[in-house]
Chains A and B, each alone.
Chain A
Amino acid sequence: MTVDQLPSRTDRFAAGRARATGARRSRASMTARRHRAFYLFTSPWIIGFLLLTVTPMAYALWLSFTTFDGISPNWKYVGLGNYRELLNDPVTWDSLGRAGLFAVTSVPLSILAGLGLAVLVNRPLKARGLFRTLLYLPAVVPPVGAGLAFKLLFDQNSGASNGVLTFFGIDAVPWLADPYARYVLLMTVLWAAGNVMIISLAGLQDVPKELHEAARIDGASSWRTFRSITVPLLSPVLLFQTVTGMIASVQTIMPLLLAPLGDTSGITTVPQSNYLYMMHVFAQYFALGRYGYASALLWVLFVLILVVTGLIFKFTSGAVFYNVDPEAKKK
């Protein structure tokens, strides 16, 4: 190779730039492929979310500003009229209050029951698998079936529960009417505590055994071990259950399934103590045909759920222990 044949500085620079550009292009192409793959895989969910969640919510928001009843020709835009009306509607506030009370009662009870069951079936018992299956079984029964079963079980005149009471000479109790109906409703929630149990059980099995052993060596009692080791390590699971349980409880339709009449107007036969917010929404939508007003009620509920969820996160942030390796987090 002669000196003339050596690449000049300019050529070398150009070649270097070309290599760099090629590498950049290759990196860009790789990034593009990754992006494409990401969006390709997430697009079914995104499209579904837009189509089946955002669109109906936006439509409901629009309806909430109208008097639309689904069929009549002369519905009109009323601006914030429906929202003003709900602020002055005592049934709205009463039903919201009852829904709140139901949530603060049923959620802790079902978490306690589920956690208690999880602790029990986490112990080395005989036929542990059978117990786990049996306790989880009610959770897989469809709510409609469960509602019907409870309705028959607690019927005043022909229900098995009163059959037992009368057998012992105790007068029959009108379980499905006020003031007892609320207890039957709570029972339906506790009956399905298997859901909470299975999640808590997964959390319990994640608690490192060596921590329990160390506590035992240090002389800690079972209760102290549970309180100081198990519960803190389970706290993210308990937070998850609190948030999802709260959302589910304010949206429950179980009172409707326990209602005396099964037709559209039957929504309002739900006893007063079980007439929760969603019953009011159902009644406005389907019995009274007030799509606009009912949509406003739902939007208010949506915002309230967001606020309450935010508050739960805020007030529990110091109490929830996330078992994350800090070094791994840095990497």
Chain B
Amino acid sequence: MYPSEYLYTKEHEWIRVEGDSGVLGITQFAQHELGDVVFVELPEVGQKFESHDEIGTIESVKAVAELYTPVSGEILEINEALIDDPAVLNDDPHTDGWLLRIQVANKEDLQELMSAEQYTQYVDEASD
């Protein structure tokens, strides 16, 4: 269920590293827990963050969740389509529902992250 080429955070985000940058999104588990997403607030292209910084919010009918970046770096691109149609996040969180592309300034940030297998186990424990 969770793509094996992605890395995962404890905050239920995934990152797909492509060279010097990474595409960030939220996991199937996260979208399911949130329920229908109604609003997505993303940072602006060019903004710089440290890893673990809050970079945006996702609002659903149930809750408002903060979005954290697992890596330090500059925002290179955001998924504009989500702003108009946040439902994409519910329908396809692992591909079309990507949130943003961020520069991966420090590869060491990635070492803290979980593999798909580790994340699956983490989610199983969390849902008990």
A binds B: no
A residues at B contact (CB < 8 Å): none
